[in-house]
């Protein structure tokens, strides 16, 4: 892993776009002043939001050097590395929250990454794209297959909830999102979210 430091005397002023829907939901789950690791942090938009809105002490882990550099430009602390290999190098209990924002489904071994996240974080937040939405089901019914996907892993909301429970995570909160807007949190009854939401954000405890 390579720790990247800010090379400018102060962060560049970047235009603040409207927060992504799952980023907004995540920011409502993070407590004030928390220590947060964003796994697959991209250009640092979520890190910046959590720092600004929650006063969080944030750090990113990003494999793409260009995206990691953009985090640095935003003034964020970032480690350039492969999460599937490098999460094991973080000490146990180092963070209050470990976040996978639309990233876990790109991993070859998501269970191993979740296990490491549960070791190094008191809470784990995961946002996923819902493969069980009604239009995906209709596509499967009519065409006999699902279309191409950028994800290595496809989860329905129910799939991921069951995976979390199998791994002994408690589901403290789960929020469905459609068109970037959060709906009412769901708990034990998840059939509606499983059919209708585009994404879901889970707050898990190891």
Between 171 and 187, the more confident residue is 171
* pTM, entire model: 0.85
Cα separation of 163 and 155, whole Å?
10
What is the arithmetic mean of pLDDT over 98-115? 96
Token reading at 54: 């929650």
Report how far Cα 2 is from the mean position of its chain's Cα atoms: 21
**In this predicted model, what pLDDT tens digit does every residue of 42-66 receive, in sequence order?**
999 999 999 999 999 999 999 999 9
pLDDT of residue 193 exceeding 80 = no
Strands 170-178 and 199-205 turn out to be antiparallel
Predicted confidence at residue 14, as pLDDT, reads: 47
**In this predicted model, what pLDDT tens digit does every residue of 124-169 receive, in sequence order?**
999 999 987 655 655 656 665 556 566 667 889 999 999 999 999 9
| Other Cβ atoms within 10 Å of 51 Cβ, number | 18
Cα separation of 205 and 164, whole Å?
10
Percent over 70 (pLDDT), the chain: 79
Distance of CA 118 to CAs 17, 115, 138, 147, Å?
31, 5, 36, 33
Max Cα distance, the chain (Å): 57
pLDDT of residue 184 exceeding 80 = no
Give the closest residue to 100 by CA, choosing from 4, 202, 31, 205: 202
- Residue recorded with tokens 């989860």: 155
Cα separation of 187 and 37, whole Å?
25
Cα separation of 75 and 108, whole Å?
30
Please state, rounded to an integer, the average pLDDT across all residues of the chain. Answer: 85
Percent over 90 (pLDDT), the chain: 66
Sheet holding 199-205, edge to edge: 2-4, 78-80, 57-62, 35-39, 95-101, 121-129, 199-205, 170-178, 181-182
Query: How is domain 17-205 classified at the architecture level of CATH?
Result: 3-Layer(aba) Sandwich (3.40)
Predicted confidence at residue 80, as pLDDT, reads: 93
Report how far Cα 204 is from the mean position of its chain's Cα atoms: 12
Cα separation of 78 and 42, whole Å?
10
């Amino acid at each position: 892993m390579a720790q990247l430091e800010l090379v400018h005397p102060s962060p560049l002023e970047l235009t603040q776009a409207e927060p992504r829907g799952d980023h907004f939901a995540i920011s409502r789950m993070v407590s004030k002043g928390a220590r947060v690791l964003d796994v697959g942090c991209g250009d640092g938009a979520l890190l910046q939001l959590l720092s600004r809105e929650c006063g969080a002490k944030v750090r990113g882990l990003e494999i793409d050097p260009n995206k990691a550099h953009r985090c640095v430009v935003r003034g964020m602390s970032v480690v350039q590395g492969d999460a599937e290999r490098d999460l094991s190098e973080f000490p146990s209990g180092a963070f209050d929250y470990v976040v996978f924002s639309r990233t876990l489904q790109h991993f070859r071994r998501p269970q191993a990454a979740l296990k490491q996240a549960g070791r190094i974080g008191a809470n784990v937040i995961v946002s996923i794209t819902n493969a069980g939405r009604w239009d995906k089901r209709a596509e499967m019914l009519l065409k006999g297959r699902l279309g191409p996907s950028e994800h290595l892993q496809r989860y329905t909301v129910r799939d991921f909830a069951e995976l979390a429970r199998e791994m002994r995570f408690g589901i403290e909160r789960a929020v469905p999102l459609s068109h970037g807007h959060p709906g009412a949190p769901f708990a034990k009854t998840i059939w509606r979210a499983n059919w209708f939401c585009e994404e879901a954000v889970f707050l898990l405890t190891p």
